[in-house]
Structure 1
């Protein structure tokens, strides 16, 4: 069955834009229903107003990425035509091996590394604050990215394609899985401990990623993964925290007027930089 994957190659190699949109919208609706039925936190907030802010940034992400998509296609086509990238070191690999290896490389470079660097480089962190400033993390938070961060992530995705040499069917498969897994691990739900312990050995779960959104360091600087949890375990950035002790947001932007209005969120990267307090830097 693993070898009979031509259907997967054909589908994701030519996946219609309508299907990609359906994956985005369908994922949000599915996890929206789940978290409304079995929420981790019973937030006392205006859910639709909160979602409206995050949907605005979802649209800006789409508007940034859509006109630049040809760069991804050109990069992948060039890599395949010139046998450039890790996947071409070993030609004629079975499709399932290509898929697994390609997804791992794309996730490492395009997601984990991009995320880690944004936490290390001040100018990039300024744009990423918008994502962390959300004090009511749910499935809509997954796509809450400043337009500037969308460009940063796009650049790393392009780099990941060139390093991996991934054909477009793997790129589209990766992007589809990335959207759904991001919506899943941001959702306001918690897995049973036994299930989380098993699933999080390979995939990033809500239990794992919620820790990343705790409002103080060192938890903010942990659990960077999007699809695969192995990168945080490998690079020593994996942390755990009792789910009930998590407080969402970022300690430098705790006021509602700063973290829940589109106008201010767009301006944060260009405002005076705020460092985490010494007290919060030392909290564990």
Structure 2
């Protein structure tokens, strides 16, 4: 465990890039070999659009990274945060608990909030407007959404009291799990029924991308599946019944081109058709 901690404490930027690019490549190949849906779309063109938003997310987060470092250092120096207030525990328990709190606040809670607050939803629905969800959809986020997701990640770091090695570990796991649970693949039912009690699987997250409520407002988790079950936001839907997109933006002219998507948050709110 000490070696793992030391690795993430000094993880090179190149290794983080490899996780991002390598993860997309790995799941891309699996999608090609055994896709859940045989989409009739230009996979390369679709990827270029989604990768554009991946790049904007990176550009938003890079200059703000020092805030995460300062926040983590402050929490450790001042013995602040949930995992620092608890009695001494084995490092493995300390790590898992810290990752869970980071995931709860920095992923589940902000994701749930985006579905409750209309102006936040207008930024987030760029992610939901994808009609062909695959591994490249994982980081399809409007630059504005990237900003307030960063804010909540920072809040999560302070509330957790996470050291930077744990933050880097969390971000690395989050990237790979997001690519995994967006991938155009399906796990065997038995395997999914077991894994979905612990981590968010593709079978579970695809339900969240069904185009109408109440499925849109379910399965918010990214790493740990426990939060949806605990807070009553867990839903199931057979894969063959899932239709991707969002009912208010089903026109490809609005959801397949970068320019129109960047403008969506500044348009009038459209209430759900099937509420």
Q: TM-score, normalised by structure 1?
A: 0.96
Closer, same or farther: CA 91–70 of 1 in aligned 2, 3 Å: farther
Q: Which residue does the alignment assign to 2:225?
A: 229
Alignment of structure 1 residues 1-284 onto 2, 5 Å: 5-90=1-86, 92-277=88-273, 280-281=274-275
Q: What is the alpha-carbon root mean square deviation over aligned residues?
A: 0.6
Write out per-residue CA displacement over residues 201-244 of structure 1, whole angstroms, 9 at most, x where no aligned residue.
10000000000000000000000000000000000000000100
Please list every run of at least 4 consecutive aligned residues from structure 1 whose deviation after the TM superposition is greater than 3 angstroms: none
Write out per-residue CA displacement over residues 41-80 of structure 1, whole angstroms, 9 at most, x where no aligned residue.
0001000000000000000000000010000000000000
Give 1:94 deviation, angstroms: 2.3
Distance in 2 separating the partners of 1:170 and 1:6? 12
Give 1:273 deviation, angstroms: 1.3
Structure 1 gaps of 5+ residues are none
Structure 2 gaps of 5+ residues are none
Q: TM-score, normalised by structure 2?
A: 0.99
SS at match of 1:141: helix
Count of residues in correspondence between the two structures: 275
Give 1:272 deviation, angstroms: 1.5
